Structure 1
Amino acid sequence: MKVALIPMHVEAGNFEANWREFEKRFNEALKHEPDFLVFPEYCLTGFEEWDFSGAGLYGEIVKRVSALAREAGVYVVFGLLEPYKNCVYNSALLIGRNGGVLLKHRKFQEPMKFCTGNTVRTARTEFGKAAIIICGDLYNKRIAKWVRRKRPDFLFVPMEYSPDYGEPNEEDVAAMAERVGLLGAGAFIANSHPPGGAWAFDSDGKLLASSRGDEILVVDV
């Protein structure tokens, strides 16, 4: 299984600019012949508190990303805002090789004004059972319970680690590793840029590979 983790530059509120960047990075990653391409949290709209207007693009985003996945014959994981009745979820999708939505995760670890998720689901692939969690979910005790119950073989983690805190440091990575070890599933984390970065851990929380900035990280496991 080959995974391309893509720390994409995201511009809040500028869908067309983000879409051009998404397509560019998607095509760059395809040169590595990956099975999975993993993009950050709400990567095509960005998010500024409390502007939920990007949720109105949900259908268009799914249609465009599904078309790319189907044409290239790859899996794609990415985050987006999802409208639901009178509120919005911070969600992430796994798109299959045929362009269909295989899996949706709604983030647990969100402040009020968001709807919040209440479960973790899995999807079968030819490489094993996959699950998705989003950014702060990695540190959520309820998430840990659900992941251990569902026992995925690997996790995808779209992330937006705020640039206000600077580049993730050794302590941040060690904290990620500790949480992954508690979950008991290999994890692939892609952060938005800036500050960027990507990380791959095995099921014991051992760091397998990492990248900095907007460098694509390709992991063959």
Structure 2
Amino acid sequence: MKVALIPMRVEVGNFETNWREFERRFNEALMDEPDFVVFPEYCLTGFEEWDFSGAGLYDEILGRVTQLAREAGVYVVFGLLEPYKNCVYNSALLIGRNGEVLLKHRKFQEPMKFCTGNTVRTARTEFGKAAIIICGDLYNKRIAKWVRRKRPDFIFVPMEYSPDYGEPNEEDVGAMAERVKLLGAKTFVVNSHPPGGAWAFDGNGKLRASSKGAQDLVVEIEP
């Protein structure tokens, strides 16, 4: 099982620029022949409090990404804003090799004005059960309970760690590792750039590989 984590540069509110970057990075990643290509949280629109206009692009984004996945025959994980009735979810999707939506996760750990998720689901792949959580969900106690109940084989974590905090440091990565240890599954984290970065942990919370800035991280593991 080969996973390509893409710390993509994201411009808030600039969908077409973000799409060109998404497509470029996706095509470059295909040169490594990955099974999964994983992008950050709301990577095609960005988000700025409290501008939810990017949610209006949900159908357009879904159509474009599913076409890429289908044409390349790979799984794609990415975050986007999802409109629902009178509010918006911060969501992430797992798209299958045939372009179908296999899994949707709605983020738990969000402030007011967002709708928030209330469960963790899994999807079957040829490599085992996959789950998705988003950014701050990694530190949510309810999430940990759900994950342990569902027992996924691996977890994807699209993230947008604010550039205001600077580049994630040793302490930050150590905190990630402690949370992954509680979840008990191989975990792949990818952050938007700036500040970027990507990390792959085993089920015991041990860091197996990482990258900095906008550098892709390609990891091959035994399923």
**Structure 1-normalised TM-score?**
1.00
The 1-side partners of 2:123 and 2:177 are apart by 23
The 1-side partners of 2:46 and 2:214 are apart by 16
The 2-side partners of 1:88 and 1:44 are apart by 16
Match of 2:190 in 1: 190
Match of 2:96 in 1: 96
Amino acid at match of 1:207: L
Match of 1:69 in 2: 69
The alpha-carbon deviation at position 189 of structure 1 amounts to 0.5
The 2-side partners of 1:60 and 1:72 are apart by 19
Match of 2:180 in 1: 180
Match of 1:106 in 2: 106
The alpha-carbon deviation at position 77 of structure 1 amounts to 0.1
Match of 1:203 in 2: 203
The alpha-carbon deviation at position 125 of structure 1 amounts to 0.1
The alpha-carbon deviation at position 207 of structure 1 amounts to 0.3
The alpha-carbon deviation at position 178 of structure 1 amounts to 0.3
The 1-side partners of 2:38 and 2:177 are apart by 19
The 2-side partners of 1:49 and 1:31 are apart by 37
1:130 and 2:130 matched: yes
Match of 2:153 in 1: 153
The alpha-carbon deviation at position 58 of structure 1 amounts to 0.2
The 1-side partners of 2:133 and 2:194 are apart by 21
The 2-side partners of 1:104 and 1:126 are apart by 18
Amino acid at match of 1:57: L
The alpha-carbon deviation at position 11 of structure 1 amounts to 0.2
Amino acid at match of 2:63: K
Q: Cα RMSD between the aligned structures?
A: 0.2
* 3-state SS, counterpart of residue 54 of structure 2: helix
Match of 1:220 in 2: 220
The 1-side partners of 2:35 and 2:183 are apart by 23
Correspondences of 1:55-66 after superposition (within 5 Å): 55-66=55-66
- Structure 2: any 5+ residue segments left out of the alignment? none
The 2-side partners of 1:171 and 1:149 are apart by 28
The 1-side partners of 2:183 and 2:69 are apart by 29
The alpha-carbon deviation at position 161 of structure 1 amounts to 0.2
* 3-state SS, counterpart of residue 32 of structure 2: coil
The alpha-carbon deviation at position 175 of structure 1 amounts to 0.2
The 1-side partners of 2:135 and 2:199 are apart by 12
The alpha-carbon deviation at position 65 of structure 1 amounts to 0.1
The alpha-carbon deviation at position 171 of structure 1 amounts to 0.1
1:2 and 2:2 matched: yes
The 2-side partners of 1:42 and 1:36 are apart by 18
* 3-state SS, counterpart of residue 31 of structure 1: helix
Amino acid at match of 1:21: E
The alpha-carbon deviation at position 159 of structure 1 amounts to 0.2
The 2-side partners of 1:94 and 1:60 are apart by 16
Correspondences of 1:15-54 after superposition (within 5 Å): 15-54=15-54
Match of 2:86 in 1: 86
Moved over 6 A (4+): none
